[in-house]
Amino acid sequence: MMLSTLVLGVATGLSSGLLALLLKSVESLFLNFNESPSLPGPFNTPWLWRAASVVIGGIIAAVIWWLLRNRAKTVPTVGQAVKGRDMPVWQTIVHVSTQIFLVGTGASIGREVAPREAGAMLGGLWVWACRRIGLREDDRRLLVAAAAGAGFAGIYISPLTGALFSIEILLKRITTTTVAVSFSMAAIAAWVGGMIHGTDPYYATGTQDFQTPLLLFVLIAAPLAGYIGGCFAKATSWAEQRKTTDVHILWQLPLAALLTAVVSIWGPAVMGNGRALAQIALNATLSPAVLSIVLLGAVKAVLTILTIRSGASGGTLTPSIALGASTGAALGAVWNLAAQNMTTSGSTLPGIPIWQCAIVGAVALLSASQQAPLMALMMLMEISHLPITALGPLGLATCLGVVSSRLVLASSVSGDSQQTPSPFLPKSDGLPRH
């Protein structure tokens, strides 16, 4: 098991690093920009160039996925791979590369599924190669799940998040072996991936300390963000279940890309996986412009749902963060306006940095949309390089977000989409698919 952990950790780190380089290459070629916290979106790219990029990307991706889904062996989900389904090699490689390509051209969808699927494929290949040494069924499940989480860790340089994805979402079982293998493999993958594409924070945040008054804001904002997260999870689950796979993808996915292109003329922040919009929310100040971020967040959510429904494969983690950050920033703006007015009238209500409000909204909505509180909490902590003092308010936001989301998800229709929830949560129907 130690050898398997080491080999798969290195392999998934390499695959995630290569996918990150592919994304940068596509963004440079199609949108003429290099993504970074200081330039998270193609804001300096001419509008016609942006529009053409996402439409062309939608057309190419539609053709590839139509061929894959109707002329080749089906690529299973990561969850299905953990349960024993084989992931065909060349089909999976084309599938994950197409996901990265589509996001790189500007389509509104997350990219985190691709490295997880690549990791699961590598885990399956390793298990197949070692089948003669007598691996047990539990060993196979563990290695495939841990490799999927390590793939995530390798692209976002977030070992705790990757390990918790394996434990909390895929395996749903906590043992000494499960924890040791998942964390070790994710740590190795993050180290290898970091050597390939760097270890800078994914989101740039402020430097102010997290103070006690933020807890009062959390009590108000987190339940609202969690409820929105539940609605978003329900909508994306609906889109995933009804995703177009037949010949109609050839016009539906390009149409969704065209809608994204039209919106990008005025709001380029809706393009890509949501990093641009989330960073705008984190950079926001107390001004009327903050309210426009809410509109962009709502439009971003709709475009992501339409992109999935029209046939695209991809994730919803970073779109959830974008929607949550925009919600939190807007609520923070309202809070600070109220604080100013109360100060003028002689009362006292402490102001809160907008970026901290955005982080609260992001973690609450993400935990709700994924029904994975520990993974959501660690993801925001790791990819934003937040201080340890953030754990208190963000941990509370995570709990409140998940609880309020159950108002939506408890009424979801059970069936094929039903999944066992995180081992840290009570059971509930209508959980999002992974």
pLDDT band at 286, cuts 50/70/90?
low
How far lies 136's CA from each of 117, 141, 146, 345, in Å? 22, 9, 15, 69
Pick the range with the lowest mean pLDDT from 108-122, 316-330, 337-351.
Answer: 337-351
- Give the model confidence (pLDDT) of 374-427 as tens digits: 999 999 999 999 999 999 999 999 999 999 999 988 765 433 333 445 555 544
Neighbours of 345 (CB within 10 A): 7
Token pair 């641009």 is at which residue?
A: 276
- Give the model confidence (pLDDT) of 368-378 as tens digits: 999 999 999 99
| Total count of residues recorded for the chain | 434
CATH class assigned to 213-409: mainly alpha
Residues 96-135: b if buried by 16+ CB within 10 A, e if exposed: bbbbbbbbbbbbbbbbbbbbbbbbbbbbbbbbeebeeeeb
Flag whether pLDDT at 54 surpasses 70: yes
Q: What is the mean pLDDT of the chain?
A: 91
DSSP secondary structure letters along 380-421 = HHHHTT--GGGHHHHHHHHHHHHHHHHHHHTTSPPSTT----
323: tokens are 């929607």
pLDDT band at 429, cuts 50/70/90?
very low
Report angle CA 324, 232, 369 to the nearest 5 degrees. 70
DSSP secondary structure letters along 229-265 = HHHHHHHHHHHHHT---STTHHHHHHHHHHHHHHHHH
- Give the model confidence (pLDDT) of 81-138 as tens digits: 999 899 999 999 999 999 999 999 999 999 999 999 999 999 999 998 887 666 777 7
For the chain, the structural domain boundaries read 2-197, 213-409
355: tokens are 């970026």
Q: What is the mean pLDDT of residues 27-50?
A: 94
pLDDT at 328: 96
- Is it true that domain 2-197 has CATH number 3.40.50.10490? no
pLDDT band at 323, cuts 50/70/90?
very high
pLDDT band at 288, cuts 50/70/90?
low
pLDDT at 284: 86
- Give the model confidence (pLDDT) of 68-81 as tens digits: 999 999 999 999 99
pLDDT band at 434, cuts 50/70/90?
low
pLDDT at 422: 58
Token pair 């016009």 is at which residue?
A: 251
Distance of alpha carbon 27 from the chain centroid: 19
Q: Nearest CA to 155 among 26, 23, 19, 278?
A: 19
Question: What percentage of the chain carries pLDDT values higher than 70?
Answer: 92
Pick the range with the lowest mean pLDDT from 195-204, 274-283, 288-297.
Answer: 288-297
Answer whether 2-197 and 213-409 agree in fold. Answer: yes
